[in-house]
Structure 1
Amino acid sequence: MENVGKALPAVGVKSGSRYRAWLLLMLSLIYASSFIDRIFIAVVGQSIKVDMNLSDLQIGVLGGLAFSLFYATLGIPMARLADRMSRVTLISLSIAAWSVMTVLCGMAGNFAQLLLYRLGVGIGEAGSTPTAHSLISDEFPEGRRATAMAIYALGPPLGAIGGAIGGGMIAQHFGWRPAFWVVGVPGLILAIIAYLSLREPERGAMDRISTVDAQRNASLGTIAAILLRSPLFVQLLLGTVIGAFAQYGINLFIPAYLTREFGLNAAQAGMTFGLTIGVGGAIGTTLGGWIADRAGASDKRWYAWVPAWGTLLGLVPVSLAFMQSDWHIAAGLLFLATILLSSWNGPTFAAIHGLVAPRMRATTSAFVFLMMNFIGQGGGPTFIGFLSDRIATHLFTDGDYSKVCRIPHGAHGAFGAVANSPLAQACADASSRGLRYAMLAMSLLLLWAAFHYIRAVRHVDKSR
């Protein structure tokens, strides 16, 4: 990895360890709030599917493309603001915006309204993560940055635990609409606390860089040129985007899969999803950052080796999970896979931030998230939903699946004319197997992602 600028003594007042801990706690909670709002469709998707009579493709659009469309495309403009204005103000306003939109999702009367509010959630969240990355890089030195990034990245698994378990229970007992209200309101409280308690750090103080002011007005084209000229960045980006395409798609449909394949209710599926993805993600994310910083102290190639090995090894249990007839074994395999597949975050962003000047970092993160979320989160769930519908249609032999199996009253959301009748069971079987094979096919893409992470290793300066 190479840095930009000439080394100078660090300037400005450094934050104490207590404030840094508070900063990471707040940013992680904010990330958790955003992730709950982002993936909550996964928790209540089966209930929405039944209530609004939707297809898997429509659920995939709500959970993927509807959110990522503006989240990805507005990420760079928001990051440009973060590189120029108060990041604390920007992130506080963003939290309030996405929280309001999440509450409105619970008031949607039809698919079109729900789609519109999901677009709004994406608009709000566009100003969050790149801004947080920039704040972290200006509070932590390079040797501790991957660990700090990994701690921040605990937000999604924490959000998965709280949102999936709590949201699943609320949806089971009170319906999916009140569940949206409950998960949306805490974000408004976080927005106020963040605005009042966080402070704007000096840019570049942790890097001892003389070019901070010179790079103040670096154009988007300049930043893109720096990144795209780096083989390390290109390979890390490809690994991240392809991995996100597979993981986002699989994760969104895990609760629905547990319900259709094993008969779990919303609360049971939500709890299993939360513990599997949440706890597994927390362990994997923390270990990934810690191992990279520890091993990277003597060999910087570990910042690429960690995501490479994590992705390659994670392919095995995630594939096996969708071949099981016992949901306990499937959940255990998904838990192991999540630990391995979550190791990429801290090392990847730490390596990427080492390639650019401090005032380029929010934009750099936004560029990564643009690709990761538009292609990964936008395309992954949508593709799995499309593939699931197509496979189910092919497997169903009792007529036109899209017509016969979308009459309300069926089992597991694969609707039949009479609940628990042979026709309803045939619809349920086709729906379940369609989703199983779609998720199994998607998991194989992780091999492709691992290939690019491995290629990234050769481009890391191991001595730095």
Structure 2
Amino acid sequence: MTGIASHPEIAATLALKRRGITLTLLTTAYFFSYMDRQILAILQELIRKDLLLSDTQLGLLAGFAFAIFYATLGIPVARLADRGNRVNIIAIALALWSLMTAVCGLAQNFAQLLAARIGVGVGEAGSSPPSHSIIADLYPPEKRAGAMGIYSLGVVLGTAFGTMIGGTVAHLYGWRVAMFTVGLPGIALAILVKLFVVEPPRGMSDAQIVAEGQDKGVIPPLGDGFRTMLASGPAFNLVMGVTITSLIGYGHAAFGPSFLQRSVGLSMIDVARYVAPVGAVCGTISAVGGGWLANKVAARYGLHAQAWLVLALKCIGLPLSFLFYASSNPYVAVPLYWVSLLFVSSYLGPSFALIQGLAPLRMRALWAAVTLLVINLVGLGLGPTAIGVISDLLRPAFGEDSLRYAMLTFAAATPWALWHYWRAGVLLKRAGA
């Protein structure tokens, strides 16, 4: 691939020819990252009993301990991605986090499991920033939200299949075998990424930037990435909106299977066999449909309408989420969960597409990394940990049902995120987008 990369026209032609394969493989890698990351959620009731852990410890494993390395290492990885071969970075990172997921199955106590989870976080730091940058180079602005919507399938499908595969394998063979089963196949995928994904020329799909010679091939200083993002009102509000949404979403995802088992009365295998598969379908419709709708509203009203589309869909999903977490009847709670997924999982594609469209060409991976740094330190780092702490604090008053009230507390923060999406749309419209 080095010879191809030295000939931009050949690389561009081949990259366009393999654009569908590239998006599929990047989405699959993202799928594996979320499957490896979220498998802990369906297994944590077994792990809690086997290793004698508290909800706070479970929250740390799912949240802060993972996020601190995943988020902070994303910045140096992004710097490498903005100047080096992004495909190599993704392939190496994928092999590392897959191996560390399997190592989780060997843990005999909290400290060992914590160390293995940190290893997963270190590996996954090398996935999203270079992937966002590649997708932005492969798809022009008017098609970018749809491509990012497909890429965001990795979140909903990875979470769902981690639950399905992890729960089923753990039911039959135990949680340790489930970790091996989900982790090891990612090493083979890393080889496929290296073999078939072509490194596209920078700015390939931004004809105006290239034509005007705005890309000089110079990597701006690291501080410029933070300064330029903070100086952009639309970008700042988009990052705030997606961060608060992720704080709520990561917290709910980490303890969702436990909530269904403790407060709704389902078994682990019920969640894996019945709840997760339909949830995967609903999440897929939401992610792909959200990206498709975002492309449509942008073509008709302008890019600013994409932020308002996210606002509208999440306004519909919010009361459904409240009703889900308030219900104890599985025949009521589970359908409410499925329907809510149709609306609440649509935000990632439009959000990341808008952020990549606002980013300077040589800062795309860096802007993605800065976004992910904030999202994951606040969202992934604090979300699961805070829900675990709240649940433990409420346990003396509510017993096993304390988790329900922790989940409801988090859902109540959604209007804060909605305000930022509204504001981002206002600022984008003022800027003529």
TM-score range for the pair, normalised by the shorter chain length: over 0.9
Instruction: Kindly report the root-mean-square deviation, in angstroms, between the aligned alpha carbons of the 2 structures.
Output: 1.7
Amino acid at match of 1:28: T
**Are residues 1:317 and 2:316 paired?**
no
On the 8 A contact 1:11/1:205 being kept in 2, the answer is: no
- 1:341 deviates by 1.3
Aligned to 1:247: 249
On the 8 A contact 1:146/1:350 being kept in 2, the answer is: yes
* CA distance in structure 1 between the aligned counterparts of 2:200 and 2:342, rounded to whole angstroms: 32
**Are residues 1:156 and 2:155 paired?**
yes
Aligned to 1:393: 396
Equivalent residue pairs, number: 420
Residues 79-102 of structure 1, C-alpha deviations (whole Å, 9 max, x = no match): 111111100100000001001100
Q: How does 1:14-53 map to 2 (within 5 A)?
A: 14-15=13-14, 19-53=18-52
Aligned to 1:421: none
- 1:11 deviates by 6.5
**Are residues 1:453 and 2:416 paired?**
no
- 2:162 is paired with a residue whose SS is helix
- 1:347 deviates by 1.0
Aligned to 1:54: 53
On the 8 A contact 2:41/2:257 being kept in 1, the answer is: yes
Aligned to 1:343: 346
Residues 183-213 of structure 1, C-alpha deviations (whole Å, 9 max, x = no match): 0011000001111111110001210224564
Report the more deviating stretch, 31-40 or 221-230. Answer: 221-230
* CA distance in structure 1 between the aligned counterparts of 2:390 and 2:260, rounded to whole angstroms: 18
Provide TM-score, normalisation by structure 2: 0.93
**Are residues 1:366 and 2:369 paired?**
yes
* CA distance in structure 1 between the aligned counterparts of 2:346 and 2:156, rounded to whole angstroms: 12
Residues 395-440 of structure 1, C-alpha deviations (whole Å, 9 max, x = no match): 3xxxxxxxxxxxxxxxxxxxxxxxxxxxxxxxxxx12x10011101
Taking a change above 3 Å as real, the CA distance of residues 311 and 120 of structure 1, as seen in their structure-2 partners, is same
Aligned to 1:185: 184
On the 8 A contact 2:156/2:345 being kept in 1, the answer is: no
- 1:142 deviates by 1.1
Question: Which structure: larger Rg?
Answer: 1
* CA distance in structure 1 between the aligned counterparts of 2:280 and 2:149, rounded to whole angstroms: 14
Aligned to 1:4: none
Aligned to 2:383: 380
Q: How does 1:198-213 map to 2 (within 5 A)?
A: 198-208=197-207, 209-210=209-210, 211=213, 213=215
- 2:428 is paired with a residue whose SS is coil
- 1:273 deviates by 4.6
Match of residue 237, structure 1, among 239, 242, 247: 239
- 1:215 deviates by 5.1
Unaligned runs of 5+ in 2: 1-7
Aligned to 2:3: none
Taking a change above 3 Å as real, the CA distance of residues 187 and 289 of structure 1, as seen in their structure-2 partners, is same
Amino acid at match of 2:130: T
Amino acid at match of 2:144: R
Report the more deviating stretch, 207-216 or 56-65. Answer: 207-216
Q: How does 1:163-182 map to 2 (within 5 A)?
A: 163-182=162-181
Residues 136-168 of structure 1, C-alpha deviations (whole Å, 9 max, x = no match): 111111111110011111112221232211110
- 1:443 deviates by 0.5
Aligned to 2:335: 332
Unaligned runs of 5+ in 1: 1-9, 396-429
Match of residue 442, structure 1, among 407, 410, 421: 410
Identity of counterpart residues, as a percentage?
Answer: 40
Amino acid at match of 1:456: A
On the 8 A contact 2:15/2:200 being kept in 1, the answer is: no
Aligned to 2:223: 221
- 2:108 is paired with a residue whose SS is coil
On the 8 A contact 1:59/1:385 being kept in 2, the answer is: yes
Aligned to 1:295: 297
- 1:262 is paired with a residue whose SS is coil
- 1:74 is paired with a residue whose SS is helix
* CA distance in structure 2 between the aligned counterparts of 1:362 and 1:281, rounded to whole angstroms: 26
* CA distance in structure 2 between the aligned counterparts of 1:153 and 1:273, rounded to whole angstroms: 20
Amino acid at match of 1:239: G
- 2:352 is paired with a residue whose SS is helix
* CA distance in structure 1 between the aligned counterparts of 2:72 and 2:60, rounded to whole angstroms: 16
- 1:322 is paired with a residue whose SS is helix
Aligned to 1:399: none
Aligned to 1:427: none
